[in-house]
Amino acid sequence: MATIACRMICASAFAVVLLAGCGGNDKSAAEAKADYCGDLSALQSSVDTLEQTLNNPGATLDQVKDARDDVHKQVQAVDDSADDVADANVDQLDEAYDALNKAINDIEDSATLAEAQQGIADEVQGVRTAWQEVLSTADCP
């Protein structure tokens, strides 16, 4: 009888500990929206940096790829924070980034910066336009 009581107490204690650990990471809607808006702002800065790199005559293709990698990190951050915002839709942004990434990957290693710029200018603008669309629906301060 004591063994059954001990098992029931242990099982109950385990369930309480397990359930207590489940709710600790929930964000409020306001916190989720603030994170989302912050990530959108950081993405704008990354896209600005990519454009500045493309417009810098002394930049290299490796620097362009590094700036693209930063845009990628910020798009991922936006995707992650969008998961916590009920009305967030970042599909257009993801598609625009995928097009940019493909265009940069398609640039020949021997290409000049001017050739690279011509090859990806529309895609960079596509990311900026998609960002503006997402921002316009995000209701960020």
pTM: 0.79
Q: Is 28-138 a domain of CATH 1.10.1760?
A: no
Q: Where are the domains of the chain?
A: 28-138
For 137, the token pair is 């629906």
Q: What is the pLDDT of residues 6-55, one digit of tens each?
A: 444 444 444 433 333 444 457 899 999 999 999 999 999 999 999 999 99
Question: Nearest CA to 82 among 110, 43, 118?
Answer: 43
Q: What is the pLDDT of residues 76-133, one digit of tens each?
A: 999 999 999 988 999 999 999 999 999 999 999 888 889 889 889 999 999 999 999 9
The secondary structure element, H or E, covering residue 75 is helix 61-82
**pLDDT attached to residue 26:** 76
> What pLDDT does 44 receive?
96
